[in-house]
Amino acid sequence: MRKQIAAANWKMNLSLQEGETLLETIIKQDGNLSDNRKVVFAVPAPYLVMAVGKIASEPHIHVAAQNVYSKKSGAYTGETSVAMLASIGVDHAIIGHSERREYFNESNQLLAEKVKICLEENITPIFCCGEALPVREANGQNDFVTRQLEESLFNLPAEQIVKVVIAYEPIWAIGTGKTASSDQAQEMHAHIRSQFAAKYGDEVANSISILYGGSVKASNAKDIFGKPDVDGGLVGGSSLIADEFIAIIKALK
């Protein structure tokens, strides 16, 4: 079975003390995760060392950066390199979140560079893709998402693409309280997998975890995660509430 993943994106929230308490609470109650399940915490950059320390004895729990820079090193004040992240034990990174695309004008080409440099340091990219409401209303979502994949990922060889995790974010369902129905999520996830199959073959496509990101909650996680091409979620607001995120973890296949 493909890896089933519950990824928490804390965004720019919580104090250090609040983050420590939240992590400790979830780690204590996550249960014994099976080998096909894993949990990822994408915490703010100042908390990465703390988080890595908290999960050190948890083989199925990982820490992600919320962003990386596209260069290995140099005079880039304020940025963080993948080598720096690897040196402190961070092994995942969110790439291309819709907020990075919208607020910081990150292009598909820039994200291709970020994915490539993550893979060079054995950091797993969680690559985000998805459409805004006008694209969905015009029924252009499939072509839009396909272009994101083609321009950022399809330059990679098969042996590298299998190391990438995909997160589909219907942008119109992030932080709005709206959620794509489980059938809508399955439809897009199946489309994404079909694009990988067309490029790399069925075996590769069927090995790639595709997460749903868009107002995932304890109340809808089991329904969404139960769809055959949905392999977990990239969770925002609900990941800041211990009981909610614990329930989401338990909803994984």
pLDDT-based confidence at 35, cuts 50/70/90? confident
pLDDT for the residue 177 = 66
In the chain, the amino acid numbered 251 is A
pLDDT at 241 over 80: yes
Mean pLDDT of the 184-206 span: 97
Q: How far apart are the C-alpha atoms of 150 and 160, rounded to whole Å?
A: 15
- Residue 55 confidence (pLDDT): 95
CA distances from 97 to 132, 150, 218, 219, 244 (A): 13, 17, 22, 24, 22
| Tokens 């089991």 sit on residue | 222
Share of the chain above pLDDT 90, in %: 90
pLDDT tops 70 at residue 175: no
245 sits in which H/E element? helix 242-250
Q: CATH no. for residue 49?
A: 3.20.20.70
- For the segment 155-174, the average pLDDT, to the nearest whole number, is 94
Active site residue 191: no
28-42: average pLDDT: 86
Residue with tokens 């909610």: 244
Contact 58, 94 (CB under 8 A): no
| Residue range of the domain that includes 49 | 4-250
State the pLDDT confidence band at 174, using cuts at 50, 70 and 90.
confident
Residue owning tokens 């974010």:
169
Mean pLDDT of the region 96-125:
97
Instruction: Kindly state the average pLDDT of the residues 233-253.
Output: 96
Phi-psi region of 78 (alpha: psi -120 to 50; beta: other; left: phi over 0): left
The residue type found at 104 is: F
State the catalytic residue, choosing from 106, 121, 169, 244: 169
Q: And the tokens for 29?
A: 């109650």
Name the amino acid, one letter, at 112. Answer: A
What value does the mean pLDDT take over residues 188-199? Answer: 98
The percent of residues above 70 in pLDDT, for the chain, comes to 97
Q: What is the arithmetic mean of pLDDT over 98-111? A: 97
Q: What is the pTM of this model?
A: 0.96
- For residue 29, the model assigns a pLDDT of 84
* CB distance 134 to 143 below 8 Å: no
- What's the pLDDT at 191? 98
97 is a catalytic site residue: yes
CB atoms within 10 A of CB 178: 12
Which residues lie below 8 Å from residue 20, measured CB to CB, with a gap of 6+? 50, 54
3-class state of residue 228 by DSSP: coil
Residue with tokens 């950066």: 65
Per-residue pLDDT at 203: 97
Mean pLDDT of the chain: 95
Mean pLDDT of 229-251: 97
Q: Which of 92, 97, 121, 131 is catalytic?
A: 97
User: How far lies 55's CA from each of 20, 29, 39, 167, 249, in Å?
Assistant: 11, 13, 10, 23, 16
Count: domains in the chain:
1
Helix (H) or strand (E) holding 147: helix 141-152
Q: Is the pLDDT of residue 176 over 80?
A: no
Residue 235 CA to residue 221 CA, distance in Å, equals: 10
pLDDT of residue 37: 95
Question: Under 8 Å CB-to-CB from 206, ≥6 apart: which residues?
Answer: 2, 193, 197
At residue 153, φ and ψ (nearest 5 deg) are -125, -30
Residue 11, sorted as left (phi over 0), alpha (psi -120 to 50) or beta, turns out to be left
Give the C-alpha separation, 211 to 4, whole Å: 8
